[in-house]
Amino acid sequence: MKKTIFTFLFLTFSFLGFNQSDSTFIRKIYDEALENGQSYENLRSLCKDIGARVTASAEAEMAIKWGEKLLNSYGFDKVYLQEIKVPHWERGTTEAAWIENEKGEILKLNVLALGSSIGTNGLLKANVIQFNDIEELKKANEADIKGKIVFINEAFNQKYLHTFKAYGACYPQRGQGAKEAGNLGAIAVVIRSLASSNDNHAHTGTMSYDSAKVKIPAAAISTNDANSLAKWLNKGKVTLSLEMDCKTLPDVTSYNVIAEMNGKDDKVITWGGHLDSWDVGEGAHDDGAGIAHSIEALRILKTLDYQPQHKLRCVLFMNEENGNYGGKTYATWCKENKEVHIAAIESDRGGFLPTGFDIRGTDKQVKFVQQFKETLYDFQLFKFDKGYGGVDIGPLIYEYPEMIQLGMTINSQEYFDYHHSEADVFETVNKRELELGSAAMAAMIYLLDKNLK
């Protein structure tokens, strides 16, 4: 009986000691992030010293140099550039658009060309026809649309507690709108910005001409302007005038920026965010915050003299916004080099308060990650559900289907107020929330590295 009790106590306290050891080290991670953190200053520098960083631009090239120099300054075991080919799209001169009703009244619109759109080749003008969503457009008669400008006015479903679900539901109007409207004879498409609030900021984003019979210009207008256009259309005919000077140029060479800490073996844990942004605003939340999180996580682990079990690799991906060639090239490169990848994490949901991690994997892998929930609960991380990892790390799952992928979750309520718009600037990021995100990333890397074999 005494032997049984002793064994029970030994196992119990060994388990408690294991948890206490993890909690103690994670506490050090948070202390370093909150007391000596560099993520906020790094984000300020990326946003203010470099600015918006659309793929293939001079600013994107500057950001690569910025990232390489910063990573080298921390003395990681290895820092290098990975060459990739990326698309080159330019917005050109500032877009202009306005509507006019049958009374001759005019309203100027806040408008942005969608990424990869063609230009209008001068001023384009036509009557507007409205659709509530992409599915309604697909069912329309070509005779009703031919020669007109299609307006797709699907708003965010405000009943969704998680705004990324609302964004996903509306995405087809941006991604497929030009193709569907062009196939039905429209001369342009204008969409309601994919945003959660009513404001005057137009929100850009990528679109596609896949399988389109003809390419037509595609633009987004602000949610306030979308509401006004819908009201005008309810009262009678409306014409829309649009001018855009955007164009696509030949592909160019660019780079992912990579830093590593060596482990006891060469199995790889990858994490990162994307260095590119759209060309409006400063790309602070999308995805400067993810870049700051990722660099800071590696810095913290090195500063605390953590000795990894596996190779820890931080990747600043290029070209997430309009092609994901950084993520695709990285995944192919890893496979060609016969690397073994066991996990990947992405931060691409803004610099807001972290709440946990989405888990992409099997039910067994979900349970594996959920075992950390008790340890991380004291650090206000509580969401560990099956979900999506991220665009940049996504291609890795096809090369390494047995790996675990995690996407850091945040309080999403404000994200789509700024996403892909001129409002996405450094001043909208809270210093403490950004630091907590960096600590959350470092804590999860530590737990995965320690427990994955």
d(CA 424, CA 452): 37
Contact 196, 92 (CB under 8 A): no
- Cα–Cα separations (whole angstroms), residue 303 to 15, 38, 74, 442: 27, 12, 9, 12
Tokens 């060994």 belong to residue:
14
d(C-alpha 114, C-alpha 373), whole Å = 40
Distance CA(449)–CA(192), nearest Å, equals 44
| Catalytic residue chosen out of the listed positions 243, 296, 320, 321 | 320
Strand ranges across the sheet with 383-386 = 78-90, 247-261, 311-317, 268-274, 341-346, 404-410, 354-360, 383-386
Query: In 328-339, which positions are buried (b, 16+ CB within 10 angstroms) versus exposed (e)?
Result: bbbbeebeeeeb
3-state SS assignment for residue 276: coil
Closest to 413 (Cα-Cα) out of 204, 222, 195, 206:
195
CA–CA separation, 52 and 251 (whole Å): 19
Beta strand 404-410 with 124-131 is unpaired
Q: Which residues contact 124 (CB under 8 A, 6 or more apart)?
A: 149, 187, 188, 217, 241, 242, 243
Amino acid sitting at position 211: S
Residue 385 in 3-state DSSP? strand
Q: Give the integer Cα–Cα distance in Å for 388 and 379.
A: 22
List the one residue out of 283, 240, 245, 82 whose CA is nearest residue 151.
240
Residue 413, token pair as written in the block: 């309520």
What CA–CA distance (Å, rounded) separates 70 from 62?
A: 12
In the residue annotation, 320 being an active-site residue is answered as yes
- With residue 272 as reference, give the H or E element that holds it: strand 268-274
Strands of the sheet containing 96-101, edge to edge, are: 106-108, 96-101, 238-243, 124-131, 149-152, 188-192, 218-221, 111-113
Active site residues per annotation: 320
